[in-house]
Chain A
Amino acid sequence: SQKIEQNSEALNIQEGKTATLTCNYTNYSPAYLQWYRQDPGRGPVFLLLIRENEKEKRKERLKVTFDTTLKQSLFHITASQPADSATYLCALDLGGGKLIFGQGTELSVKP
């Protein structure tokens, strides 16, 4: 069956450093992959979408890479700030409207 795995443990980094979050998947070749941010008690908020023919996508301090050979996406936040502390979710499209999510990685940025 299709499986998505994100960093299992919480990520703690110092303000100003780059945070790198990992999303690995098996048994599927998605046409695109999405990343979301979720704050406690709130619904997820869309951040970025990257297609299979795109190696990298950037938006302000965010960068996403998509390696279809390794079946992996990396999500980077450069010059991280305490306000970036949240849970980050990756999601894969299985086709026909089925979108499945990883379990999320909790990021904590310390001042």
Chain B
Amino acid sequence: NAGVTQTPKFQVLKTGQSMTLQCAQDMNHEYMSWYRQDPGMGLRLIHYSVGAGITDQGEVPNGYNVSRSTTEDFPLRLLSAAPSQTSVYFCASSLRAGPYEQYFGPGTRLTVT
């Protein structure tokens, strides 16, 4: 099993550009989520999904869109990048929502200039 994979590892965007951060898992997990991590702020939940076709907002959803058309994939879209979205983004998955360990991907470091 590859676990949770994220692409790209690094990305530089100009303000106003759009892009999609990819996340995939091969563990047949129902639950997937996206976090951003900024210095001194810890991990903040952006969006999450409890199963294919179901998504919901986390703590900081503004500026981000998600969809979950398959169990395996959970892409995160930035529609119009802003410097405030400069961060490290982590995708995570677990068997289902609830008391289950989260498996994290390696992260994507995004810089918006």
| B43 x A44 contact (CB < 8 A) | yes
Interface residue stretch chosen among B12-20, B65-73, B78-86, B102-110: B102-110
| B45 x A98 contact (CB < 8 A) | yes
Question: Is chain A's interface secondary structure helix, strand, loop, or mixed overall?
Answer: strand
| A101 x B97 contact (CB < 8 A) | no
| B97 x A96 contact (CB < 8 A) | yes
| A51 x B105 contact (CB < 8 A) | no
Min CB distance, A83 to chain B, in Å? 20
| B50 x A97 contact (CB < 8 A) | yes
Closest to B107 in A: A43
| A31 x B99 contact (CB < 8 A) | yes
Give the total number of A-B pairs whose CB atoms are below 8 A apart.
64
Interface range, A side: 20 to 34
- Among A41, A43, A99, max chain B CB count under 10 A is at A43
Q: CA of A36 to CA of B107 in the docked complex: distance in angstroms? A: 16
Total residues of chain B contacting the partner, CB 8 A: 28
| A99 x B42 contact (CB < 8 A) | no
| A43 x B105 contact (CB < 8 A) | yes
Min CB distance, B25 to chain A, in Å? 12
Min CB distance, A70 to chain B, in Å? 21
Tell whether A46 pairs with B107 under 8 Å between CB atoms, given A97-B31, A97-B48, A102-B42.
Answer: no
A89 on interface, CB distance cutoff 8 Å: yes
| B103 x A46 contact (CB < 8 A) | yes
B40 on interface, CB distance cutoff 8 Å: yes
B90 on interface, CB distance cutoff 8 Å: yes
| A49 x B40 contact (CB < 8 A) | no
| A44 x B90 contact (CB < 8 A) | yes
B15-59 interface code vs A (CB 8 A; 1 in, 0 out):
000000000000000010101000011111100111000001011
Subset of 28 A-B contacts with CB under 8 Å: A43-B104, A44-B43, A44-B102, A45-B104, A46-B101, A89-B42, A91-B43, A93-B98, A97-B33, A97-B49, A97-B50, A97-B98, A98-B56, A98-B58, A99-B48, A99-B102, A100-B44, A100-B45, A100-B59, A101-B35, A101-B42, A101-B43, A101-B44, A101-B45, A102-B42, A103-B41, A103-B42, A104-B42
